[in-house]
Amino acid sequence: MAVRSLLLCCLGLGFLSSSLGPGFLSSCLGPCPLDAAPAAESAPFHRLGRANFTCWTCRALFTALDFALQLKPGTDEMGFVAMELCIHLKLASQNICVQAIELFEHDVISAWVNSILKPSEICGLLVGSDCGHWDIYSNWSVALPSTPKPPVVPPKPPHPEAPITRVLSLTDVHWDKDYTVGSNPNCRDPLCCRSGSGMPPSHQRGARRWGEYSKCDLPLRTIENLLQHLQSQHYDVVYWTGDIPAHNVWHQTRGDQVLALNTITQLIRRYLGNATVYPSVGNHESTPVNSFPPPFIHGNDSSAWLYSAMAQAWKPWLHQSALDTLRRGGFYTAKVQSGLRLVSLNMNFCSHENFWLLVNSTDPADQLHWLVNVLQEAEQCGEKVHIIGHIPPGLCMKVWSWNYYRIVNRYEGTIAAQFFGHTHVDEFEVFYDEETLSRPLSVAFIAPSVTTYINLNPGYRIYQVDGNYPGSSWAVLDHETYILNLTQAYVSGRPSWTLLYRLREAFSMNWSFPADFDDLITRFQKHEHLFQLYWFLYHKGHTSELCRDTCKTAVICALRTGRSDDPKLCRDLLEGLEYRHVQRFWKLRRMC
């Protein structure tokens, strides 16, 4: 039973870790192999010392499990054991354990049954490379056209009187329809401030009207107040980069997700009027969370229910060709202005937490192949491209991230900017040339969240972009970040969305081109006060702690790492620290 419980913890409960918090996964008696790096370096059962888990035992066990699942895929034995384990280890309350396992059980088992996992392969992962070859996430490569890369013209400042396009960025709204004023903001559950959170102790205050500094999402009134405020702001286009529902991932239905999608979409249309909005798909849009099967999975297991609902909700903003690829795989391209094309990627196809990638992780949905074709056509037509998505590339699976990095390198003259969300905080990732990893050539801007989760002020951003005129670069020139300071709101008695900072002004940057961000990272290393200012703004103006030593190394390493799991990008930062230790430290801080 002990061995089986360990296996189920990592294979079943491990998929919940990113949403139920770092403690959920770490309670599985050690690191889950699915989140560990190379199999040769991770023999988790030997480290745990809980069972004499030999290669022979592993192969025999998984051969039996695989045979049983093939004969009876609907078996609930795995779910029952995982439920017992969740409760026994106190990973969450009994109610949440039961609901979470019931919600995830069918999809996880379906993904396993449909996958090409063999006992020898999974034992190569769990026990070590001597027991089998693990290559489910092995290297693959997207072919690039033979057309030579055009000469690269470094970005340059526009004429002082050149027109500026203002891009409103909204991300990670996370509306909680069960947010309840007066409820406990410090409950045991992964999400609090809601009707099931109970009442706070008598000496502590309950959840307040506009939001709370805790592991809480937002009431609808705060989101509506933001959109009312945005009516007075000037912007030309909106990039909306995903995550609409709340973090109650243990108890969500497809109806709940569609309700959240339609409610927030209708509010945006109501208050932002004629603005064109370009959305992308977040990892919380589906249920179970992170569950995004590739398009060849049909029937009730497919994502057709979600993509169809999105196409219906967003059709006032998108043309038919965009709606067609949205329905197929959750991604699309659209022409924004003359000379500017937008690409909206479904970044769930690069996610470690998307357990459906066990079925096929090689360019899922052929999305990167499609991206190359779009970029090649844009290059030939003289168009610039903005890429939007939810999960930043540096947080993706390694092989996906490295392919994407190569694509950005090839089309650096076409890709004018990249915009992402997901982490809830204010950061960026710099891309460098593949040959020397020294010449900065692109920046992935990562905008702060609308939600407070966890312990943040609500926020949004407006980018100033070079355009709209013939020959404009469509590069980001500057950006402004606005917040709702909850502390001040409760002192004054009313919410007020105010400017937190302007990028170039705050950090004394000449411009916001890739070279300027590379220079900023260097200055973070040299000037402690500048880095601690960044750390304060990173948290949207709500943190009392300082970030030093390993924390600082991990932060700066993350800013350089647009390419996932690449020690070379941080080689001059480590100074005796192990790269994997730095990455592990940062990963635990960034779970959201």
Among 9-13, 199-203, 266-270, 350-354, where is mean pLDDT lowest?
9-13
More confident residue, 363 or 76: 363
Mean pLDDT for 330-350 is 97
Q: Is the pLDDT of residue 144 over 70?
A: yes
Annotated binding residues, written as ranges, equal 172, 174, 243, 283, 390, 422, 424
Annotated binding residues for Zn(2+), written as ranges, equal 172, 174, 243, 283, 390, 422, 424
Q: Alpha helices, DSSP H only, in 176-317?
A: 220-230, 254-272, 304-314
Can you tell me the distance from the alpha carbon of 400 to that of 352, in angstroms, rounded to the nearest whole number? 10
Can you tell me the distance from the alpha carbon of 191 to that of 179, in angstroms, rounded to the nearest whole number? 10
Can you tell me the distance from the alpha carbon of 72 to that of 470, in angstroms, rounded to the nearest whole number? 62
* pTM of structure: 0.87
Can you tell me the distance from the alpha carbon of 592 to that of 581, in angstroms, rounded to the nearest whole number? 20
pLDDT digits (tens, 9 = 90+) for 565-591: 898 888 888 877 788 778 777 776 665
Can you tell me the distance from the alpha carbon of 139 to that of 564, in angstroms, rounded to the nearest whole number? 13
Position 37 scores a pLDDT of 34
Can you tell me the distance from the alpha carbon of 160 to that of 184, in angstroms, rounded to the nearest whole number? 52
Can you tell me the distance from the alpha carbon of 326 to that of 335, in angstroms, rounded to the nearest whole number? 15
Sequence ranges of the domains in the chain: 1-15+52-136, 164-179+217-588
Residue reference for tokens 């937008």: 342
Q: What 3 state SS string does 175-236 have?
A: ECCCECCCCCCCCCCCCCCEHHHCCCCCCCCCCCCCCCCCCCCECHHHHHHHHHHHCCCCCC
State the CATH class of domain 164-179+217-588: alpha beta
Beta carbons of 592 and 427 less than 8 angstroms apart:
no
pLDDT digits (tens, 9 = 90+) for 428-471: 999 999 999 999 999 999 999 999 999 999 999 999 999 989 98
> Given strand 384-388, what is the order of strands in its sheet?
332-337, 340-344, 384-388, 415-420, 440-446, 427-432
**What is the average pLDDT score of the chain?**
86
Position 66 scores a pLDDT of 65
Q: Is the pLDDT of residue 24 over 60?
A: no
Name the percent of the chain lying above pLDDT 90. 66
More confident residue, 118 or 147: 147
Question: Burial letters for 218-248: b for 16+ Cβ neighbours within 10 Å, e otherwise?
Answer: bbeebbbbbbebbeeeebbbbbbbbbbbbbb
Q: Is the pLDDT of residue 130 over 70?
A: yes
For residue 489, give every residue at least 6 positions away whose Cβ sits within 8 Å of its Cβ, in sequence order, or none.
Answer: 210, 495, 496
Q: Is 44 helix (H, G, I), strand (E, B) or coil?
A: helix
Position 118 scores a pLDDT of 67
Residue reference for tokens 């509506």: 224
Can you tell me the distance from the alpha carbon of 560 to that of 397, in angstroms, rounded to the nearest whole number? 17
Beta carbons of 276 and 317 less than 8 angstroms apart:
yes
Report the run of H or E that residue 484 belongs to, with start and end: strand 476-484
More confident residue, 18 or 436: 436
List the structure tokens of 399: 């092989």
List the structure tokens of 335: 């022409």
Q: Is the pLDDT of residue 5 over 50?
A: no
List the structure tokens of 422: 């997901």
Position 20 scores a pLDDT of 56
Backbone CA torsion sign across 343, 344, 347, 348? negative
Position 46 scores a pLDDT of 33
pLDDT band for position 44 (cuts 50, 70, 90):
very low
Return the closest-CA partner of residue 44 out of 6, 17, 84.
6
pLDDT digits (tens, 9 = 90+) for 400-430: 999 999 999 999 999 999 999 999 999 999 9
Mean pLDDT for 98-124 is 70
Position 122 scores a pLDDT of 67
Return the closest-CA partner of residue 540 out of 478, 482, 472.
482
Hey, which of 15-19, 161-165, 172-176, 489-493 has the most confident mean pLDDT? Answer: 172-176
Beta carbons of 31 and 24 less than 8 angstroms apart:
no
DSSP 392-411: -GGGS-HHHHHHHHHHHHHT
Beta carbons of 142 and 368 less than 8 angstroms apart:
yes
Among 20-24, 391-395, 458-462, where is mean pLDDT lowest?
20-24
Can you tell me the distance from the alpha carbon of 466 to that of 134, in angstroms, rounded to the nearest whole number? 47
pLDDT band for position 125 (cuts 50, 70, 90):
low
Beta carbons of 234 and 273 less than 8 angstroms apart:
no
More confident residue, 65 or 532: 532
pLDDT digits (tens, 9 = 90+) for 298-319: 999 999 999 999 999 999 999 9
> In angstroms, what CA-CA distances link 159 with 27, 72, 235?
57, 68, 20
Can you tell me the distance from the alpha carbon of 452 to that of 431, in angstroms, rounded to the nearest whole number? 29
Mean pLDDT for 483-500 is 96
Name the percent of the chain lying above pLDDT 70. 81
Q: Are strands 427-432 and 440-446 parallel, antiparallel or unpaired?
A: antiparallel
Can you tell me the distance from the alpha carbon of 99 to that of 547, in angstroms, rounded to the nearest whole number? 37
Report the run of H or E that residue 385 belongs to, with start and end: strand 384-388
Position 93 scores a pLDDT of 76
Position 360 scores a pLDDT of 85
Can you tell me the distance from the alpha carbon of 476 to that of 443, in angstroms, rounded to the nearest whole number? 9
Return the closest-CA partner of residue 336 out of 352, 347, 322.
322
Q: Are strands 237-240 and 164-170 parallel, antiparallel or unpaired?
A: parallel
pLDDT band for position 76 (cuts 50, 70, 90):
low
Position 54 scores a pLDDT of 74
What is the separation of C-alpha 247 from the centre of its chain, rounded to a whole number of angstroms? 13
The values of phi and psi at residue 179, to 5°, are: -60, 130
More confident residue, 359 or 463: 463
Q: Is the pLDDT of residue 517 over 80?
A: yes
Q: Is 21 helix (H, G, I), strand (E, B) or coil?
A: coil
pLDDT digits (tens, 9 = 90+) for 179-200: 999 999 999 999 999 998 999 9
Can you tell me the distance from the alpha carbon of 239 to that of 246, in angstroms, rounded to the nearest whole number? 20
Q: What 3 state SS string does 417-445 have?
A: EEEECCCCCCEEEEEECCCCCCCEEEEEE
Position 564 scores a pLDDT of 92
Please provide the size of the chain in residues: 592
pLDDT digits (tens, 9 = 90+) for 214-272: 999 999 999 999 999 999 999 999 999 999 999 999 999 999 999 999 999 999 999 99
Residue reference for tokens 């960025």: 169
Beta carbons of 431 and 407 less than 8 angstroms apart:
no
Other Cβ atoms less than 10 A from the Cβ of 149: the count is 14
Q: Is the pLDDT of residue 39 over 90?
A: no
pLDDT band for position 102 (cuts 50, 70, 90):
confident
Q: Is 58 helix (H, G, I), strand (E, B) or coil?
A: helix
More confident residue, 207 or 63: 207
Q: What 3 state SS string does 314-337 have?
A: HCCCCCHHHHHHHHHHCCEEEEEE
pLDDT band for position 91 (cuts 50, 70, 90):
low
Based on the number of CB atoms within 10 Å of its own CB, is 137 exposed (0-12), middle (13-18) or buried (19 or more)? middle
Return the closest-CA partner of residue 380 out of 146, 156, 142, 147.
147
Position 123 scores a pLDDT of 75
